[in-house]
Structure 1
Amino acid sequence: MLAYIIRRLLYALPILIGVNLITFALFFVVNTPDDMARMQLGVKRVTPEAIDRWKAERGYDKPLFFNDEASGSAMLSETIFFSKSVRMFVGDFGRAEDGRDIAREIVTRMGPSLAIALPTFIIGLLVSVSFALLLTFFRATYLDFWGVVLCVAMMSISGLFYIIGGQYLVSKLWKLVPISGYGGGLDAWKFVILPVLIGVVSGIGSSTRWYRTIFIEEIARDYVRTARAKGLAEAAVLFRHV
Protein backbone atom coordinates (compact mmCIF):
# COMPACT_ATOMS: atom_id res chain seq x y z
CA MET A 1 0.00 0.00 0.00
CA LEU A 2 2.83 2.38 0.88
CA ALA A 3 4.57 1.65 -2.42
CA TYR A 4 1.32 2.33 -4.26
CA ILE A 5 0.88 5.70 -2.52
CA ILE A 6 4.48 6.69 -3.25
CA ARG A 7 4.07 5.65 -6.89
CA ARG A 8 0.90 7.71 -7.26
CA LEU A 9 2.59 10.74 -5.71
CA LEU A 10 5.51 10.39 -8.13
CA TYR A 11 3.04 10.18 -11.02
CA ALA A 12 1.34 13.34 -9.79
CA LEU A 13 4.54 15.41 -9.84
CA PRO A 14 5.03 15.60 -13.65
CA ILE A 15 1.28 16.17 -14.04
CA LEU A 16 1.42 19.14 -11.66
CA ILE A 17 4.45 20.56 -13.46
CA GLY A 18 2.76 20.15 -16.84
CA VAL A 19 -0.50 21.74 -15.67
CA ASN A 20 1.49 24.57 -14.11
CA LEU A 21 3.37 25.23 -17.36
CA ILE A 22 0.25 25.11 -19.53
CA THR A 23 -1.76 27.33 -17.17
CA PHE A 24 1.06 29.86 -16.94
CA ALA A 25 1.51 29.99 -20.71
CA LEU A 26 -2.23 30.32 -21.40
CA PHE A 27 -2.60 33.03 -18.76
CA PHE A 28 0.10 35.21 -20.24
CA VAL A 29 -1.08 34.59 -23.81
CA VAL A 30 -4.48 36.00 -22.86
CA ASN A 31 -3.25 38.53 -20.30
CA THR A 32 0.06 40.28 -20.95
CA PRO A 33 1.74 42.24 -18.13
CA ASP A 34 0.80 45.45 -19.97
CA ASP A 35 -2.87 44.40 -19.99
CA MET A 36 -2.69 43.61 -16.28
CA ALA A 37 -1.19 47.01 -15.58
CA ARG A 38 -3.90 48.79 -17.56
CA MET A 39 -6.61 46.87 -15.70
CA GLN A 40 -5.16 47.87 -12.33
CA LEU A 41 -4.35 51.46 -13.20
CA GLY A 42 -7.40 52.17 -15.36
CA VAL A 43 -7.67 51.79 -19.11
CA LYS A 44 -8.21 55.50 -19.81
CA ARG A 45 -5.32 57.99 -19.74
CA VAL A 46 -2.72 55.56 -18.40
CA THR A 47 0.80 56.52 -19.43
CA PRO A 48 3.53 54.13 -20.59
CA GLU A 49 5.68 55.35 -17.66
CA ALA A 50 2.95 54.32 -15.18
CA ILE A 51 2.69 50.90 -16.83
CA ASP A 52 6.47 50.37 -16.64
CA ARG A 53 6.53 51.50 -13.01
CA TRP A 54 3.65 49.12 -12.11
CA LYS A 55 5.41 46.18 -13.78
CA ALA A 56 8.73 46.96 -12.09
CA GLU A 57 7.13 47.16 -8.64
CA ARG A 58 5.54 43.71 -9.06
CA GLY A 59 8.29 41.91 -10.95
CA TYR A 60 6.50 41.80 -14.31
CA ASP A 61 9.27 43.67 -16.10
CA LYS A 62 11.30 40.44 -16.45
CA PRO A 63 11.14 37.97 -19.39
CA LEU A 64 8.60 35.16 -19.14
CA PHE A 65 10.74 31.98 -19.25
CA PHE A 66 14.32 32.83 -20.23
CA ASN A 67 16.42 35.89 -19.40
CA ASP A 68 19.15 36.13 -22.06
CA GLU A 69 20.52 39.31 -20.45
CA ALA A 70 21.49 37.48 -17.24
CA SER A 71 24.19 34.86 -16.72
CA GLY A 72 24.35 31.46 -15.04
CA SER A 73 21.35 30.30 -13.05
CA ALA A 74 19.93 33.84 -13.14
CA MET A 75 18.97 33.21 -16.77
CA LEU A 76 16.19 30.98 -15.40
CA SER A 77 15.62 32.45 -11.93
CA GLU A 78 15.32 36.08 -13.06
CA THR A 79 12.08 35.40 -14.95
CA ILE A 80 8.38 35.84 -14.31
CA PHE A 81 7.84 32.09 -14.44
CA PHE A 82 10.35 31.42 -11.66
CA SER A 83 9.26 34.25 -9.39
CA LYS A 84 5.52 33.77 -9.84
CA SER A 85 5.08 30.06 -10.53
CA VAL A 86 8.01 27.83 -9.56
CA ARG A 87 8.05 29.13 -5.98
CA MET A 88 4.58 27.67 -5.44
CA PHE A 89 6.11 24.18 -5.32
CA VAL A 90 7.89 25.11 -2.06
CA GLY A 91 4.78 26.66 -0.56
CA ASP A 92 5.58 30.29 -1.39
CA PHE A 93 2.45 31.58 -3.10
CA GLY A 94 3.45 35.25 -2.89
CA ARG A 95 0.94 38.08 -2.84
CA ALA A 96 -2.01 38.98 -5.02
CA GLU A 97 -1.95 42.15 -7.07
CA ASP A 98 -3.97 43.94 -4.38
CA GLY A 99 -1.41 43.01 -1.70
CA ARG A 100 -3.20 40.10 -0.03
CA ASP A 101 -1.12 37.12 1.17
CA ILE A 102 -2.29 34.24 -1.05
CA ALA A 103 -1.19 31.52 1.41
CA ARG A 104 -3.19 33.17 4.20
CA GLU A 105 -6.22 33.43 1.90
CA ILE A 106 -5.97 29.71 1.08
CA VAL A 107 -5.72 28.74 4.76
CA THR A 108 -8.66 30.98 5.64
CA ARG A 109 -10.92 29.47 2.99
CA MET A 110 -9.71 25.88 3.32
CA GLY A 111 -11.82 25.13 6.39
CA PRO A 112 -15.26 25.95 4.92
CA SER A 113 -14.35 24.26 1.63
CA LEU A 114 -13.28 21.01 3.33
CA ALA A 115 -16.30 21.16 5.67
CA ILE A 116 -18.49 20.88 2.57
CA ALA A 117 -16.33 18.76 0.25
CA LEU A 118 -15.40 15.90 2.62
CA PRO A 119 -18.91 15.08 3.93
CA THR A 120 -20.31 15.42 0.40
CA PHE A 121 -17.72 12.96 -0.93
CA ILE A 122 -18.04 10.42 1.92
CA ILE A 123 -21.84 10.47 2.23
CA GLY A 124 -22.28 10.59 -1.54
CA LEU A 125 -19.99 7.58 -1.95
CA LEU A 126 -21.86 5.55 0.68
CA VAL A 127 -25.29 6.42 -0.74
CA SER A 128 -24.32 5.83 -4.39
CA VAL A 129 -22.53 2.53 -3.73
CA SER A 130 -25.38 1.26 -1.53
CA PHE A 131 -28.03 2.23 -4.09
CA ALA A 132 -26.00 0.70 -6.93
CA LEU A 133 -25.54 -2.55 -4.98
CA LEU A 134 -29.30 -2.66 -4.33
CA LEU A 135 -30.06 -2.24 -8.04
CA THR A 136 -27.48 -4.89 -8.91
CA PHE A 137 -28.98 -7.27 -6.34
CA PHE A 138 -32.44 -6.84 -7.95
CA ARG A 139 -31.08 -6.63 -11.50
CA ALA A 140 -33.47 -7.33 -14.38
CA THR A 141 -36.48 -6.59 -12.16
CA TYR A 142 -38.92 -3.70 -12.02
CA LEU A 143 -36.98 -2.24 -9.07
CA ASP A 144 -33.81 -2.17 -11.17
CA PHE A 145 -35.66 -0.69 -14.16
CA TRP A 146 -37.34 2.14 -12.26
CA GLY A 147 -34.17 2.76 -10.27
CA VAL A 148 -32.24 3.35 -13.50
CA VAL A 149 -35.07 5.58 -14.78
CA LEU A 150 -34.85 7.62 -11.58
CA CYS A 151 -31.06 7.94 -11.98
CA VAL A 152 -31.42 9.11 -15.58
CA ALA A 153 -34.06 11.64 -14.53
CA MET A 154 -31.81 12.97 -11.75
CA MET A 155 -28.88 13.19 -14.18
CA SER A 156 -31.03 15.23 -16.56
CA ILE A 157 -31.74 17.92 -13.97
CA SER A 158 -29.27 20.79 -13.82
CA GLY A 159 -27.25 21.15 -10.63
CA LEU A 160 -28.35 24.78 -10.52
CA PHE A 161 -31.95 23.60 -10.08
CA TYR A 162 -30.98 21.62 -6.97
CA ILE A 163 -29.16 24.63 -5.53
CA ILE A 164 -31.92 27.18 -6.16
CA GLY A 165 -34.68 24.73 -5.21
CA GLY A 166 -32.91 23.70 -2.01
CA GLN A 167 -32.29 27.29 -0.96
CA TYR A 168 -35.86 28.32 -1.72
CA LEU A 169 -37.53 25.34 -0.06
CA VAL A 170 -35.31 24.65 2.96
CA SER A 171 -34.03 28.14 3.72
CA LYS A 172 -36.66 30.59 2.50
CA LEU A 173 -39.92 28.70 3.02
CA TRP A 174 -39.10 26.34 5.88
CA LYS A 175 -36.38 28.60 7.40
CA LEU A 176 -34.49 25.59 8.74
CA VAL A 177 -30.97 26.76 7.87
CA PRO A 178 -29.38 30.06 6.70
CA ILE A 179 -29.60 30.67 2.98
CA SER A 180 -25.94 31.76 2.72
CA GLY A 181 -22.83 32.61 4.74
CA TYR A 182 -20.65 30.56 7.08
CA GLY A 183 -20.14 30.45 10.83
CA GLY A 184 -17.33 28.77 12.72
CA GLY A 185 -17.50 26.56 15.78
CA LEU A 186 -20.57 24.52 16.70
CA ASP A 187 -22.83 26.62 14.49
CA ALA A 188 -20.98 25.60 11.32
CA TRP A 189 -23.32 22.64 10.69
CA LYS A 190 -26.21 25.04 10.02
CA PHE A 191 -24.34 26.48 7.04
CA VAL A 192 -22.88 23.16 5.84
CA ILE A 193 -25.81 20.75 5.97
CA LEU A 194 -27.75 22.22 3.01
CA PRO A 195 -24.77 22.37 0.56
CA VAL A 196 -23.79 18.83 1.57
CA LEU A 197 -27.35 17.57 1.07
CA ILE A 198 -27.61 19.28 -2.33
CA GLY A 199 -24.19 17.94 -3.37
CA VAL A 200 -25.14 14.37 -2.42
CA VAL A 201 -28.58 14.46 -4.07
CA SER A 202 -27.34 16.08 -7.29
CA GLY A 203 -24.62 13.42 -7.71
CA ILE A 204 -26.67 10.31 -6.93
CA GLY A 205 -27.92 9.78 -10.49
CA SER A 206 -24.61 9.70 -12.35
CA SER A 207 -22.64 7.99 -9.55
CA THR A 208 -25.20 5.23 -9.04
CA ARG A 209 -25.35 4.40 -12.75
CA TRP A 210 -21.56 4.31 -12.93
CA TYR A 211 -21.18 2.01 -9.90
CA ARG A 212 -24.05 -0.18 -11.10
CA THR A 213 -22.23 -0.73 -14.41
CA ILE A 214 -19.06 -1.66 -12.53
CA PHE A 215 -20.87 -4.07 -10.20
CA ILE A 216 -22.75 -5.81 -13.03
CA GLU A 217 -19.44 -6.33 -14.82
CA GLU A 218 -17.80 -7.48 -11.58
CA ILE A 219 -20.37 -10.18 -10.77
CA ALA A 220 -19.21 -12.12 -13.83
CA ARG A 221 -15.67 -12.51 -12.45
CA ASP A 222 -14.17 -15.87 -11.49
CA TYR A 223 -14.01 -15.12 -7.76
CA VAL A 224 -17.76 -14.38 -7.73
CA ARG A 225 -18.56 -17.68 -9.44
CA THR A 226 -16.28 -19.45 -6.95
CA ALA A 227 -18.05 -17.82 -4.00
CA ARG A 228 -21.42 -18.87 -5.38
CA ALA A 229 -20.15 -22.41 -6.00
CA LYS A 230 -19.16 -22.64 -2.33
CA GLY A 231 -22.79 -22.06 -1.41
CA LEU A 232 -22.64 -18.44 -0.26
CA ALA A 233 -25.89 -16.51 -0.41
CA GLU A 234 -26.25 -13.92 -3.20
CA ALA A 235 -26.45 -11.09 -0.65
CA ALA A 236 -23.19 -12.19 0.98
CA VAL A 237 -21.46 -12.51 -2.40
CA LEU A 238 -22.63 -9.09 -3.56
CA PHE A 239 -22.43 -6.97 -0.40
CA ARG A 240 -19.30 -8.55 1.07
CA HIS A 241 -17.11 -9.75 -1.81
CA VAL A 242 -18.12 -7.60 -4.76
Structure 2
Amino acid sequence: FWGVVLCVAMMSISGLFYIIGGQYLVSKIWKLVPISGYGGGLDAWKFLILPVAIGVVSGIGSSTRWYRTIFLEEVSRDYVRTARAKGLSEVTVLFRHVLRNALIPILTGVVVVIPLLFMGSLLTESFFGIPGLGSYTIDAINAQDFAVVRAMVFIGSVLYIVGLILTDLSYTFVDPRIRFN
Protein backbone atom coordinates (compact mmCIF):
# COMPACT_ATOMS: atom_id res chain seq x y z
CA PHE A 1 0.00 0.00 0.00
CA TRP A 2 2.68 2.48 1.02
CA GLY A 3 4.70 1.69 -2.09
CA VAL A 4 1.73 2.62 -4.28
CA VAL A 5 1.19 5.82 -2.28
CA LEU A 6 4.88 6.72 -2.70
CA CYS A 7 4.72 6.04 -6.45
CA VAL A 8 1.61 8.21 -6.87
CA ALA A 9 3.29 10.99 -4.89
CA MET A 10 6.41 10.72 -7.07
CA MET A 11 4.26 10.84 -10.22
CA SER A 12 2.51 13.96 -8.98
CA ILE A 13 5.68 15.99 -8.58
CA SER A 14 6.84 17.96 -11.61
CA GLY A 15 10.18 17.14 -13.20
CA LEU A 16 11.10 20.80 -12.85
CA PHE A 17 10.75 20.49 -9.06
CA TYR A 18 13.13 17.52 -9.09
CA ILE A 19 15.67 19.56 -11.09
CA ILE A 20 15.50 22.66 -8.89
CA GLY A 21 15.30 20.65 -5.65
CA GLY A 22 18.20 18.42 -6.70
CA GLN A 23 20.36 21.39 -7.64
CA TYR A 24 19.60 23.12 -4.36
CA LEU A 25 20.01 20.11 -2.09
CA VAL A 26 22.81 18.11 -3.72
CA SER A 27 24.83 20.94 -5.28
CA LYS A 28 24.28 23.98 -3.07
CA ILE A 29 23.71 22.51 0.40
CA TRP A 30 25.74 19.26 0.26
CA LYS A 31 28.25 20.53 -2.37
CA LEU A 32 28.66 17.04 -3.86
CA VAL A 33 28.52 18.00 -7.55
CA PRO A 34 28.64 21.28 -9.52
CA ILE A 35 25.32 23.11 -9.95
CA SER A 36 25.71 23.53 -13.70
CA GLY A 37 28.22 23.50 -16.50
CA TYR A 38 30.05 20.78 -18.32
CA GLY A 39 33.62 19.58 -18.48
CA GLY A 40 35.01 17.27 -21.08
CA GLY A 41 37.15 14.19 -20.66
CA LEU A 42 37.28 12.29 -17.39
CA ASP A 43 35.70 15.17 -15.45
CA ALA A 44 32.42 14.84 -17.34
CA TRP A 45 31.03 12.26 -14.90
CA LYS A 46 30.69 14.75 -12.02
CA PHE A 47 28.59 17.03 -14.23
CA LEU A 48 26.35 14.19 -15.39
CA ILE A 49 25.65 12.36 -12.12
CA LEU A 50 22.95 14.74 -10.89
CA PRO A 51 21.04 15.13 -14.20
CA VAL A 52 20.99 11.36 -14.74
CA ALA A 53 19.93 10.69 -11.14
CA ILE A 54 17.14 13.26 -11.41
CA GLY A 55 15.98 11.73 -14.70
CA VAL A 56 15.81 8.29 -13.11
CA VAL A 57 14.11 9.42 -9.89
CA SER A 58 11.52 11.54 -11.71
CA GLY A 59 10.45 8.53 -13.81
CA ILE A 60 10.42 5.87 -11.09
CA GLY A 61 6.89 6.57 -9.86
CA SER A 62 5.09 6.21 -13.18
CA SER A 63 7.29 3.34 -14.37
CA THR A 64 6.75 1.35 -11.21
CA ARG A 65 2.99 1.79 -11.38
CA TRP A 66 2.99 0.76 -15.08
CA TYR A 67 5.07 -2.39 -14.50
CA ARG A 68 3.06 -3.32 -11.40
CA THR A 69 -0.20 -3.10 -13.35
CA ILE A 70 1.17 -5.22 -16.19
CA PHE A 71 2.54 -7.93 -13.91
CA LEU A 72 -0.56 -8.08 -11.70
CA GLU A 73 -2.68 -8.53 -14.81
CA GLU A 74 -0.45 -11.34 -16.11
CA VAL A 75 -0.19 -13.13 -12.74
CA SER A 76 -3.97 -13.46 -12.53
CA ARG A 77 -4.24 -15.21 -15.92
CA ASP A 78 -5.25 -18.86 -16.33
CA TYR A 79 -1.94 -20.02 -17.83
CA VAL A 80 -0.13 -18.90 -14.65
CA ARG A 81 -2.54 -20.86 -12.50
CA THR A 82 -2.04 -23.88 -14.76
CA ALA A 83 1.76 -23.59 -14.59
CA ARG A 84 1.62 -23.44 -10.79
CA ALA A 85 -0.75 -26.44 -10.72
CA LYS A 86 1.78 -28.41 -12.77
CA GLY A 87 4.24 -27.90 -9.93
CA LEU A 88 6.61 -25.45 -11.61
CA SER A 89 8.68 -23.33 -9.26
CA GLU A 90 7.65 -19.73 -8.67
CA VAL A 91 10.82 -18.45 -10.33
CA THR A 92 10.10 -20.51 -13.45
CA VAL A 93 6.51 -19.32 -13.57
CA LEU A 94 7.48 -15.68 -13.17
CA PHE A 95 10.40 -15.64 -15.60
CA ARG A 96 9.34 -18.10 -18.30
CA HIS A 97 5.63 -17.32 -18.37
CA VAL A 98 4.72 -14.01 -16.76
CA LEU A 99 7.75 -11.94 -17.79
CA ARG A 100 7.67 -13.24 -21.34
CA ASN A 101 4.04 -12.23 -21.83
CA ALA A 102 4.49 -8.94 -19.96
CA LEU A 103 7.36 -7.85 -22.21
CA ILE A 104 5.10 -6.88 -25.12
CA PRO A 105 3.39 -3.94 -23.34
CA ILE A 106 6.69 -3.06 -21.68
CA LEU A 107 8.43 -2.80 -25.07
CA THR A 108 5.57 -0.66 -26.34
CA GLY A 109 5.94 1.64 -23.34
CA VAL A 110 9.67 2.01 -23.95
CA VAL A 111 9.01 3.60 -27.35
CA VAL A 112 6.87 6.28 -25.73
CA VAL A 113 9.91 7.35 -23.73
CA ILE A 114 12.01 8.21 -26.82
CA PRO A 115 10.38 11.58 -27.57
CA LEU A 116 10.18 12.30 -23.84
CA LEU A 117 13.94 11.77 -23.54
CA PHE A 118 14.51 14.35 -26.25
CA MET A 119 11.99 16.80 -24.81
CA GLY A 120 13.22 16.19 -21.27
CA SER A 121 16.73 16.99 -22.38
CA LEU A 122 15.50 20.46 -23.31
CA LEU A 123 14.81 21.28 -19.65
CA THR A 124 17.67 19.27 -18.19
CA GLU A 125 20.32 20.70 -20.49
CA SER A 126 19.00 24.23 -19.98
CA PHE A 127 19.02 24.06 -16.18
CA PHE A 128 22.33 22.22 -15.89
CA GLY A 129 24.15 24.12 -18.65
CA ILE A 130 25.02 20.98 -20.57
CA PRO A 131 25.77 21.55 -24.26
CA GLY A 132 23.62 19.25 -26.38
CA LEU A 133 20.66 19.02 -28.74
CA GLY A 134 18.26 20.25 -26.06
CA SER A 135 20.15 23.45 -25.27
CA TYR A 136 20.82 23.94 -29.00
CA THR A 137 17.06 23.72 -29.64
CA ILE A 138 16.29 26.22 -26.86
CA ASP A 139 18.88 28.63 -28.26
CA ALA A 140 17.36 28.22 -31.75
CA ILE A 141 13.88 28.96 -30.41
CA ASN A 142 15.12 32.08 -28.61
CA ALA A 143 16.95 33.25 -31.75
CA GLN A 144 13.92 32.40 -33.91
CA ASP A 145 16.05 30.13 -36.07
CA PHE A 146 13.17 28.10 -37.48
CA ALA A 147 15.38 25.99 -39.75
CA VAL A 148 17.11 24.52 -36.70
CA VAL A 149 13.80 24.06 -34.88
CA ARG A 150 12.38 22.20 -37.89
CA ALA A 151 15.51 20.04 -38.03
CA MET A 152 15.15 19.15 -34.34
CA VAL A 153 11.49 18.25 -34.82
CA PHE A 154 12.51 16.10 -37.79
CA ILE A 155 15.22 14.34 -35.74
CA GLY A 156 12.71 13.67 -32.96
CA SER A 157 10.22 12.27 -35.45
CA VAL A 158 12.81 10.02 -37.07
CA LEU A 159 13.91 8.73 -33.65
CA TYR A 160 10.30 7.95 -32.80
CA ILE A 161 9.67 6.09 -36.07
CA VAL A 162 12.92 4.12 -35.75
CA GLY A 163 11.91 3.24 -32.20
CA LEU A 164 8.53 1.98 -33.42
CA ILE A 165 10.18 -0.17 -36.09
CA LEU A 166 12.69 -1.60 -33.60
CA THR A 167 9.86 -2.34 -31.18
CA ASP A 168 7.91 -4.20 -33.84
CA LEU A 169 11.01 -6.20 -34.72
CA SER A 170 11.68 -7.00 -31.07
CA TYR A 171 8.16 -8.43 -30.71
CA THR A 172 9.25 -11.40 -32.81
CA PHE A 173 12.04 -12.22 -30.35
CA VAL A 174 9.81 -11.88 -27.30
CA ASP A 175 6.76 -13.74 -28.60
CA PRO A 176 7.33 -16.46 -31.18
CA ARG A 177 3.63 -16.40 -32.13
CA ILE A 178 4.14 -13.00 -33.74
CA ARG A 179 5.61 -13.29 -37.23
CA PHE A 180 5.91 -10.86 -40.10
CA ASN A 181 4.23 -11.93 -43.35
Q: Which has the larger radius of gyration?
A: 1
